[in-house]
Amino acid sequence: QVLLVESGGGLVQAGDSLRLSCTASGRTFSSYSMGWFRQAPGKEREFVAHIARSSRSTYYANSVKGRFTISRDNAKNTVYLQVNSLKPEDTAVYYCAASLSYSVYDWARYDSWGQGTQVTVSS
């Protein structure tokens, strides 16, 4: 496992932007593909974005395409999620996750999870 810590969430207005960060411990960060998931109150955990080990490919949920951008800096053991044009329906706890597998969308295939960072978007 790798220890993951998210940060960057907050209370914002619709249309605002945030940059979420997830910093990993250890020396094997580059061995993991990384994903972002979110969970709104009363809702199931939802896939948001994924980035490959060397940033060769990215994946996004349809609901965030064109608004969110995932990136990583392996030298800093950090993955980012730039969230633009936020909507009230984006309100959720955002979790980063690390995977040694090649699965993208299946949360059960990820190996480690952070504690989450709250994003709240007012209308």
**How confident is the model at residue 91, as a pLDDT?**
98
In this prediction, residue 30 has a pLDDT band, given cuts at 50, 70 and 90, of: very high
Beta bridge partners of 121: 12
| pLDDT digit string, tens, across residues 91-101 | 999 999 999 98
Residue 105 has pLDDT above 90, yes or no: yes
**How confident is the model at residue 14, as a pLDDT?**
98
Q: What is the mean pLDDT of residues 61-80?
A: 97
Beta bridge partners of 98: 34, 112
**How confident is the model at residue 49, as a pLDDT?**
98
Give 46-70 as a DSSP string. Answer: EEEEEE-TTSS-EEE-TTTTTTEEE
Burial class (CB in 10 A: 0-12, 13-18, 19+), 82: middle
**CA 119 remoteness from chain centre:** 12
| pLDDT digit string, tens, across residues 52-61 | 998 889 999 9
In this prediction, residue 12 has a pLDDT band, given cuts at 50, 70 and 90, of: very high
The contacts of residue 44 (CB under 8 Å, 6+ apart) are: none
Residue 36 has pLDDT above 90, yes or no: yes
